[in-house]
């Protein structure tokens, strides 16, 4: 399996790049956001790759980061979303904005992506919201004394209660350092802060 390719750009198409790696030209499908980062022909390029095998074709999908590939893998795990649709969703916004839209359950923003209707947006939020909280995208300011894994669990728990990511993270930054670093203790303190607003 191909993990990533490093080579020189041989040609750029509307939806793909041909990457010359040691004299072999790999045709790699790239989303719109990743394509904007591709330099001119002859420039060096590294793409993280996911190989999709179908009965009639073997297709390489390329991403400008390992996280982008991880988001693609999560997208294709959603019922009704294939590799091409996942690539189109990734190309709809910068990665940070896409992840934030799913975390915030922003259906209005998600439905602005070509081909994504309300039902698809709802499936994305339902199936991926918790998983997207674990992604190392746009790392938030984490209060001292709260371990990273606990921080992610608390954010996820509060988001499931209907609080927005911004409100949750503001509440977590306001937590006093003496609060015990346990899920129950941090959630209780954060809920007290959020209900006082």
| Overall pTM surpassing 0.75 (yes/no) | no
pLDDT at 139: 42
d(CA 102, CA 188) in angstroms, rounded, equals: 25
Q: Select the CATH number that applies to the domain covering 66-133 from these four: 1.10.468.10, 1.10.150.20, 1.10.1040.10, 3.90.1150.10.
A: 1.10.150.20
Q: Which distant-in-sequence residues (6+ apart) come within 8 Å of 14 by Cβ?
A: none
pLDDT at 146: 66
Strands 4-12 and 44-53: antiparallel
Asked if 134 contacts 91 with a C-beta cutoff of 8 angstroms, the reply is no
CATH entry 2.60.120.1310 includes domain 4-63: no
pLDDT in tens, the chain (197 residues): 788 999 999 999 989 999 999 999 999 999 988 888 788 899 999 999 999 999 888 999 999 888 899 999 999 999 899 999 999 999 988 888 898 889 888 899 999 998 899 999 999 999 998 888 777 765 444 565 566 557 767 777 787 787 776 777 778 778 776 777 788 888 888 898 888 86
Asked if 47 contacts 77 with a C-beta cutoff of 8 angstroms, the reply is no
pLDDT at 12: 92
Asked if 25 contacts 60 with a C-beta cutoff of 8 angstroms, the reply is no
């Amino acid at each position: 399996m191909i993990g990533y390719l490093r080579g020189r750009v041989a040609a750029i198409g509307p939806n793909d790049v041909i990457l010359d790696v040691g004299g072999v030209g790999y045709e790699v499908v790239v989303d719109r956001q990743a394509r904007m980062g591709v330099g001119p022909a002859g420039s060096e390029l590294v793409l993280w790759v996911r190989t999709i095998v179908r009965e009639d074709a073997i297709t390489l999908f390329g991403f400008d980061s390992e996280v982008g590939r991880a988001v693609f893998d999560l997208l294709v795990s959603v019922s009704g979303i294939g590799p091409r649709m996942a690539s189109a969703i990734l190309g709809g916004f910068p990665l940070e904005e896409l992840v934030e839209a799913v975390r915030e359950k922003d259906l209005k923003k998600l439905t602005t992506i070509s081909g994504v209707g309300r039902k698809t947006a709802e499936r994305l939020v339902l199936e991926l919201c918790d998983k997207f909280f674990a992604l190392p995208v746009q790392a938030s300011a984490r209060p001292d004394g709260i371990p990273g894994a606990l921080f992610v669990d608390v954010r996820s728990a509060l988001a499931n209660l209907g609080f927005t990511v911004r409100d949750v993270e503001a509440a977590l930054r306001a937590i006093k350092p003496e609060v015990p670093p346990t899920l129950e203790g941090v959630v209780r303190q954060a809920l007290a802060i959020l209900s006082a607003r």
